[in-house]
Chain A
Amino acid sequence: MSIKVIKEKCTGCKICVKVCPFGAIKVEHKLAVIDLNRCNLCGACVSVCKFQAIILSAPEDLGTRAPKENYRGIWVFGEQKKGIIQPVVFELLGEARRLAEDLKTDVSCVVLGYKIESQQIEELFWRGADKVYLVEAEELYHYQDEPYTEIFVELIKEYKPEILLCGATAIGRSLVSRVAVKIRTGLTADCTGLAIDPETKLLLQTRPAFGGNIMATIVCSDYRPQMATVRHKVMKELPVDKTRKGLIIRKNYDGRLLHSRTKLIDIVEEIGESVNLAEADIIVSGGRGLGRAENFKLIEELAKVLGGAVGASRAAVDSGWIAYSHQVGQTGRTVCPKIYFACGISGQIQHLIGMQSSKIIVAINKDPHAPIFNVATYGIVGDLFEIVPLLTQRFKEVLKK
């Protein structure tokens, strides 16, 4: 695999310099020069060049490394906590169904756990699964990296799925990273778009990189399964169809695979009854403009009325006004709720990275030049101490009706 510039075609127009995500291209004497130490061979320059002056040669060996045709079907990791299937699983099943239409194949859900109620499994069928692979053992009640990985690897080896989707959750990301290495296949993190290429039938996995500043489409052509994690709230779940039924395939594994060197000692739920950030449809966030910790009460009240979660900017967290687990942004959590309220948040790039894929953004800030207004769907320039309580009161009235 190599990349080169065709001197005769290059005009030194510098378009490639601008698109290179790695700063690897310079124009010297009207000729693009690629610094191979920086180049990641991503091909961004190739597609943008108007003169076809950059050539990325394909690997010499395009032969298949795994007999791909033996791999069939789409799998979804059925993440459960304390026996409850997590909502992201339903979204993934919805997406898997759409992909399965294009591939003319079926959708399976893999559930590892202990004494899972049959209604939980039934719901997977209602939500789009054709089959459920169910592995139950006491050791699997709570997630543990090692037994989950080992069993997943066994299942994949035995049943050979073509595609495996998993929620980009704390559990999902840890699990499939390990599984992909053991299986020796590709894994794309945090996808926001999935599609099947009509010609190659490959899974086109699109994800943001560089803090959402660029999007990349990634394929895994030579290895199976094609694995991807998907952010919560990105895919749409299907309407519940209670007439759907499916097949449960129960598997048992011996103690060797169930052994875990890590031990779970305790589970501490901090966010308690209020909604957690990743799952919230509505997030109300506060920033530096709140001035002090006590003023977060305004944010909490609005969130409570709307049934939403409380978020915060880094400035608010660093000032010690609220716990880090509420931080939205580059060094905090990435969220994409239906509605995101940014109150007294100026909109530093670090914050925008974490919330700009929200469907609706409402910004309330006294500074009309605050960058948050550049991304806001609706902006109110004004004093949040006046506006937020009024909003809380009005929503309370409206929602009562």
Chain B
Amino acid sequence: MEIIVCIKQVPDTTEVRIDPQTNTLQREGVASIINPFDMYALEEGIRLKEKYGGKVTVITMGPPQAEEALREAISLGSDEAILITDRALAGSDTWATSLTLAKAIEKIGRFDLIICGKQAIDGDTAQVGPGISAHLNIPQVTYVKKIEEIRILEHQSTGAPEHRAPSTHSAIVRVQRMMEEGYVVMEVPLPCLITVVKEINEPRLPSLKGKLRARNALITKWGIQDLGIDKQDVGLEGSPTRVVRVFSPPPRKGGQILQGNVQEMVEKLVELLKSEIL
């Protein structure tokens, strides 16, 4: 199985604090981490490799320092790592980002499965995964909470004509997709893209051998020219959306702490909420 996992380096938003004086984000000294949902994607990719053989290639688009995230991915068990970095990519929105990642995946060539986290914790858009599959014109399943099985089919040379991307296997993957009121079971032929939720697995910690390997691993670096992307199609220029204003939300103020004994407090609360509930 040739597996590609897309990851993003993000600020650890759980460490982000609001400066009470200026009411702005304190970004200084906040650690960069691999987007937590991408950790589940990585873990799933590595588990599939362990089960079916093959290779995990991890790719990220970001500034040069995103290399750290790729090294961490290698220490966890990824085989190869590609960093897509280019000044021209600054300001890319989800359209341009998914185009860039799709072009990189096309350059990699053969693959069976692309795995992404369901969304990144800084942008929370959940758009890049489906965007990649749309650019590549492959099927997708979002919010996967379990891969039930992968059925390798007899080797057929056919495959539907719209399969632009060549797959190394002819196989069907059966997954559970999380929905608001439960889940649905879906089957999808490879090659395809899935985005995963937390429930799918518990990510491992790195191994020492992996860490030693990661220290010296070669990271492939591609710019937009390597990918044959036109400057007009990425970065701020190529992005359909643009941020025009950034501001801090008014901080939520603590309200009242109810006083009195338990009976009195409960009575007061019921009184306060009655109009909302009835």
Q: Which residues of A contact B (CB under 8 A)?
A: 1, 15, 17-23, 36-44, 47-48, 59, 61, 142, 145-146, 149, 169-171, 173-174, 177-178, 180-182, 184-190, 204-205, 208-223, 260-271, 276-279, 282, 306, 324-325, 327, 330-332, 338-339, 348-350, 353, 356, 359-362, 368, 373-383, 386-387, 390-391, 394-395, 398-399
Question: In this assembly, does B147 line the interface, its C-beta being within 8 Å of a C-beta of chain A?
Answer: no
Query: CB distance B183 to A268 under 8 Å?
Result: yes
Query: CB distance A36 to B87 under 8 Å?
Result: yes
Query: CB distance B265 to A59 under 8 Å?
Result: no
Interface stretch, picked from B8-16, B103-111, B219-227, is B8-16
> B237 — which chain A residues lie within 8 A by C-beta?
1, 59, 61
What 1/0 mask marks residues of chain B from 15 to 43 whose CB sits below 8 Å from any chain A CB? 01011001011111010000011000000
Chain B residues 36-68 with CB under 8 Å of chain A are 36-37, 63-65
> B26 — which chain A residues lie within 8 A by C-beta?
18
Given the known inter-chain contacts A37-B63, A387-B266, please indicate yes or no for A269 contacting B277, CB distance below 8 A: no
Q: Which residues of B contact A (CB under 8 A)?
A: 11, 13-14, 16, 18-19, 22, 24-28, 30, 36-37, 63-65, 85, 87, 90-91, 93-95, 98-99, 121-131, 133-135, 139-143, 145, 160, 162, 174, 176-189, 192, 197-199, 235-237, 239-249, 252, 254-258, 262-263, 265-267, 269-270, 272-274, 276-278
Given the known inter-chain contacts A262-B188, A266-B184, A376-B254, please indicate yes or no for A325 contacting B240, CB distance below 8 A: no
Bound CA–CA A262/B182 (angstroms): 19
22 A-B pairs whose Cβ atoms sit less than 8 Å apart in the complex: A19-B25, A40-B91, A43-B246, A145-B139, A169-B180, A184-B240, A187-B95, A189-B127, A209-B122, A210-B13, A210-B25, A215-B247, A220-B242, A261-B188, A276-B181, A279-B180, A324-B145, A331-B198, A362-B273, A390-B262, A391-B266, A394-B266
Distance in Å: Cβ of B29 to nearest Cβ of chain A? 9
Given the known inter-chain contacts A184-B95, A213-B25, please indicate yes or no for A394 contacting B256, CB distance below 8 A: no
Distance in Å: Cβ of B5 to nearest Cβ of chain A? 18
Q: How many pairs, one residue from A and one from B, have CB atoms within 8 Å of each other in the complex?
A: 317
Query: CB distance A36 to B131 under 8 Å?
Result: no
> A268 — which chain B residues lie within 8 A by C-beta?
176, 182-185
Given the known inter-chain contacts A360-B273, A375-B252, please indicate yes or no for A390 contacting B187, CB distance below 8 A: no
Interface of A is mostly: mixed
Query: CB distance A149 to B27 under 8 Å?
Result: no
Q: Which 4 A-B pairs have the closest CB atoms?
A: A186-B240, A177-B130, A186-B241, A181-B134
Contact pick for B124, options A15, A36, A185, A211, CB 8 Å:
A211
Query: CB distance A178 to B254 under 8 Å?
Result: no
> A399 — which chain B residues lie within 8 A by C-beta?
277-278
Distance in Å: Cβ of A126 to nearest Cβ of chain B? 24
Select from chain A the residue with minimum beta-carbon distance to B242.
Answer: A219
Query: CB distance B249 to A214 under 8 Å?
Result: yes
Contact pick for B257, options A142, A264, A278, A381, CB 8 Å:
A381
Query: CB distance A306 to B277 under 8 Å?
Result: yes
In the complex, besides A189-B126, A218-B244, A330-B121, 11 extra interface pairs with C-beta distance below 8 angstroms are: A1-B91, A23-B28, A177-B131, A214-B246, A222-B240, A261-B189, A373-B254, A373-B257, A379-B254, A379-B258, A380-B266
Select from chain A the residue with minimum beta-carbon distance to B240.
Answer: A186
Query: CB distance A177 to B127 under 8 Å?
Result: yes
Query: CB distance A379 to B180 under 8 Å?
Result: no
Query: CB distance B252 to A356 under 8 Å?
Result: yes
Distance in Å: Cβ of A263 to nearest Cβ of chain B? 5
Bound CA–CA A57/B45 (angstroms): 42
> A324 — which chain B residues lie within 8 A by C-beta?
145, 197-199
Contact pick for B126, options A41, A173, A208, A325, CB 8 Å:
A173
Select from chain A the residue with minimum beta-carbon distance to B91.
Answer: A41
Given the known inter-chain contacts A189-B124, A221-B242, please indicate yes or no for A378 contacting B269, CB distance below 8 A: yes
> A339 — which chain B residues lie within 8 A by C-beta?
273, 276-277
> B87 — which chain A residues lie within 8 A by C-beta?
36-37
Query: CB distance B262 to A386 under 8 Å?
Result: yes
> A209 — which chain B residues lie within 8 A by C-beta?
122-124
Distance in Å: Cβ of B239 to nearest Cβ of chain A? 7
Contact pick for A376, options B63, B197, B255, CB 8 Å:
B255
Query: CB distance A218 to B257 under 8 Å?
Result: no
Query: CB distance B134 to A149 under 8 Å?
Result: yes
Bound CA–CA A292/B99 (angstroms): 47
Distance in Å: Cβ of B20 to nearest Cβ of chain A? 11
Contact pick for B246, options A216, A270, A348, CB 8 Å:
A216
> A332 — which chain B residues lie within 8 A by C-beta?
198
Query: CB distance B257 to A379 under 8 Å?
Result: yes
Select from chain B the residue with minimum beta-carbon distance to A35.
Answer: B63
> A146 — which chain B residues lie within 8 A by C-beta?
139
> A23 — which chain B residues lie within 8 A by C-beta?
11, 27-28, 30
Bound CA–CA A222/B95 (angstroms): 14
> B128 — which chain A residues lie within 8 A by C-beta?
177
Bound CA–CA A38/B181 (angstroms): 39
